[in-house]
């Protein structure tokens, strides 16, 4: 260049293209999306790229799945495989006693076996304010989608609560349940880690469920699962049982 070489000849000497010389990097259009992905990943530590994409869609962000996946991988947010260990996956808040019925429900599972040794699964739903057994669903297997169907059936009979409190079960915090709760405006709350007694409002009903089903057959095992108990049938827990409350 000092000897007066033309730009074309100088580029030929260094083997560089003219387009590379004039290239100007474009501004990063993924700054806001990347920040939101990081925020969701830190808030929900066990969410993979699929659940992150679902949350973004629920917030109204129209983004391509592959774009979210690329940014997720660039940030090295891949969820590591773990051994059986309880890890918080969402916001947990102290248990506060509701003031009226149909504000907060608690859900839990109880397991038993039939006479032939097959496992049955009972979903119990309890109103935290009145301790009423809202519903008891008995099946061989209950998935997250099955839980949403039970709740939709209850919605027709008595409406839905503002908050549903559960433990960290996959049926309660999977894609089916998260999508269902967002579409219906219901908040999902988890009990605090290391405090299973915060789900005590449903424990009396689960115990009563196992006892009533077992005694109805006259044997220590349950009979073949039948239709679930009708919602709002007036079933309540024993008066001697008390929940554990933070306030």
Average of per-residue pLDDT across 164-178: 86
User: pTM value?
Assistant: 0.56
Q: For 73-94, how does the pLDDT look when each residue is reduced to its tens digit (9 = 90+)?
A: 888 887 666 665 554 444 555 6
Cα separation, 74 vs 71, whole angstroms:
5
* pLDDT score, position 98: 81
* pLDDT score, position 3: 61
Please state at what angle helix 144-158 crosses helix 175-184, rounded to 10 degrees: 20
Q: Which CATH superfamily is domain 104-217 in?
A: Ribonuclease H-like superfamily/Ribonuclease H (3.30.420.10)
pLDDT at 246 over 50: no
DSSP secondary structure of 144-199 = HHHHHHHHHHHHHHH---SEEEE-S-TTTSSHHHHHHHHHHTPEEEEPPTT-GGGG
* pLDDT score, position 166: 87
* pLDDT score, position 212: 52
* pLDDT score, position 222: 41
pLDDT at 170 over 80: yes
Q: For 14-59, how does the pLDDT look when each residue is reduced to its tens digit (9 = 90+)?
A: 888 888 888 888 888 888 999 999 999 888 887 888 889 999 988 8
* pLDDT score, position 81: 64
pLDDT at 217 over 60: no
Q: Is 1 helix (H, G, I), strand (E, B) or coil?
A: coil
Nearest to 103 by CA among 182, 152, 165, 147: 165
Neighbour order of strands in the sheet with 119-127? 133-139, 119-127, 104-113, 163-166, 187-190
Q: For 175-209, how does the pLDDT look when each residue is reduced to its tens digit (9 = 90+)?
A: 899 899 999 999 988 776 666 666 645 555 555 55
* Range of weakest confidence among 71-80, 222-231, 234-243: 234-243
* pLDDT score, position 156: 92
Nearest to 193 by CA among 95, 53, 98: 95
Q: Domain residues of the chain, as ranges?
A: 7-74, 104-217
Please list, residue by residue across 52-86, b when 16 or more beta carbons sit within 10 angstroms of its beta carbon and e when fewer do.
Answer: bbbbbeeeeeeeeeeebeebbeeeebeeeeeeeee
Q: What is the rounded average pLDDT for all residues in the chain?
A: 76
* Range of weakest confidence among 93-107, 155-169, 232-246: 232-246
Beta-bridge mates of residue 113: 119
* pLDDT score, position 221: 41
């Amino acid at each position: 260049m000092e000897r007066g070489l033309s730009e074309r000849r100088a580029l030929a000497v260094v083997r560089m293209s003219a387009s590379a010389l004039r290239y100007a990097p474009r501004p990063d259009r993924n700054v806001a999306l990347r920040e939101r992905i990081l925020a969701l990943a830190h808030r929900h530590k066990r969410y993979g790229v699929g659940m992150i994409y679902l949350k973004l869609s629920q917030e109204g962000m129209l983004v391509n799945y592959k774009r979210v996946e690329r940014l997720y991988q660039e940030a090295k947010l891949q969820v590591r495989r773990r051994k059986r260990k309880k890890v918080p996956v969402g916001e947990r808040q102290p248990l506060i006693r509701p003031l009226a019925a149909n504000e907060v429900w608690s859900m839990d599972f109880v397991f038993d076996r039939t006479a032939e040794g097959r496992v049955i699964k009972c979903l119990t739903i309890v109103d935290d304010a009145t301790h009423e057994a809202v519903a008891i669903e008995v099946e061989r297997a209950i998935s997250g989608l099955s839980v949403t169907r039970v709740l939709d059936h209850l919605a027709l009979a008595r409406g839905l609560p503002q908050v549903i409190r559960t433990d960290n079960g996959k049926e309660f915090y999977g894609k089916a349940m998260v999508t269902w709760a967002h579409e219906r405006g219901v908040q999902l709350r988890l009990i605090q880690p290391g405090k299973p007694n915060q789900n005590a409002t449903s424990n009396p009903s689960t115990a009563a469920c196992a006892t009533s089903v077992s005694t109805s057959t006259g044997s220590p095992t349950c009979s073949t699962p039948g239709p679930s108990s009708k919602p709002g049938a007036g079933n309540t827990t024993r008066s001697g049982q008390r929940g554990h409350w933070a306030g």
